[in-house]
Structure 1
Amino acid sequence: MKIILIGGHGTIGKTIAAALAPRHEVIIAGRNSGDIRVDITSEESVEKMFRELKTVDACICTAGTGYYGDFAAMRQQHMLPGIQGKLMGQVNLVLIGKDYLAEGGSFTLTSGVASQLPAKNGTCVAMINGAVNSFVLGASQELKRDQRINVVSPGLVEDSGERYGALFPGYNLVPMQRVVNAYLLSVEGAVNGRIIEAHF
């Protein structure tokens, strides 16, 4: 398969790329690095990326984050970058990419455990992750030509535990292989319209 992976140089993305590369053509896309450049907050940039690719069999996105901060002081300006990035950026990939995705192809988006168990000061991220999940549930009913869409909801992976563990007290660290397997299930399997949980 010809697979475009947005965010392929991140902690999770680079491990997914390594797992898929022996069997597939994996093209890494990112804002500042990769085989091809894309800004997922820009419809024009997403369209340009897909036009250059012409067609793909699978599109995976592991890019995007959201605001962590004091709820009492949080305002729209804090939330918008995450909404425009992790939420609408991934939505852009599907709304535009569906016209370039091959028959029987798949989208795999990324949300996170915060949709169910928000960390302290993580209300914005919880909202964004929940919205991504809901978008996938709806979009799976609308895609044509046997195209599929799923979302992987990772927990705090072991590889990030040292850097971020203090922000998420009580979260069990998830083996990276379990997270990667969730993406493989979405891309190489047959599931559709699933929130594939890779936590706990």
Structure 2
Amino acid sequence: MIGATGRLGTAVNEALTGRGHQVLTVGRSAGDLRYDVADPAQVTALYDEVGAVDAVASAAGDVPYGRVTELKPEDYEAAFRGKVLSQIELVRQGTSRIAERGSFTVITGVLGRDPIPTGSAASMANGAVEAFVRAAAIEIAPQRINAVSPTVFTESIAKYGDFFPGIQPVDVAQVALAYVRSIEGAQTGQIYSLG
């Protein structure tokens, strides 16, 4: 579980372990294993350390926020590296490391379908991840890949609610169930939109 010590990652970890899954938590600064998946070499090292697994789930991805006129090219590159390429690398390198019918679950978000001011880099990244999921699903079968795309978490509404006027929040526990659905289910190429 990549990003397992954040709010979402913690909920996903609890949901999966509660269903009997053995989960290895991965993070840059916390977790069972310490790797920065934005670095392809560290993705390789992670897979080398872990060995074969049944599923890979990601709840991590950094993107900068700012108005289009304020963001620099390197901000968009950082968003692409932090949320898109990092998750693509998990899949690209992981296809030879997970079970024949294993799964990948990646994270996108509401800004891919419902943009807000200052969120263009996040919208770009989320849209790219979703397009990748649809394309990868037809190439990696019988392995599976899905994306989870929540709105703002109910638990974060006090902090971020003003950025999402009129958008229905979603409980982080519901988002965690989408990860369970992706990992234990049979679907592939899906974008599980929540909220």
More strand per residue: 1
- Which string of whole-angstrom CA distances, capped at 9 and with x for unpartnered residues, describes residues 44-70 of structure 1? 100111111110101000001212102
- Superposition map of 1:9-158 within 5 A: 9-22=5-18, 23-144=20-141, 146-158=142-154
Structure 2: distance between partners of 1:41 and 1:156: 23
Q: Which amino acid aligns with 2:193?
A: E
Unpaired runs of 5+ residues, structure 2, are: none
AA partner of residue 5 (structure 2)? H
Which residue in 1 is equivalent to 2:186? 190
- The residue identity in structure 2 corresponding to 1:152 is V
Q: State the Cα distance separating 1:122 from its structure 2 match.
A: 0.6
Q: CA deviation at 1:175?
A: 2.0
Moved beyond 3 Å, runs of 4+: none
Q: Distance in 2 between matches of 1:36 and 1:80?
A: 26
Residue type of the partner of 2:146? N
**Paired residue secondary structure (1:12):** helix
Q: Is the 8 A contact 2:8 2:172 kept in 1?
A: yes
- RMSD, matched Cα: 1.0
TM-score norm. by structure 1 comes to 0.94
- Contact 2:67 2:120 (C-alpha < 8 Å) held by counterparts: no
Give distance in 1, aligned partners of 2:104 and 2:87. 10
Aligned residues: 194
Q: Which moved more, 1:83-92 or 1:36-45?
A: 36-45
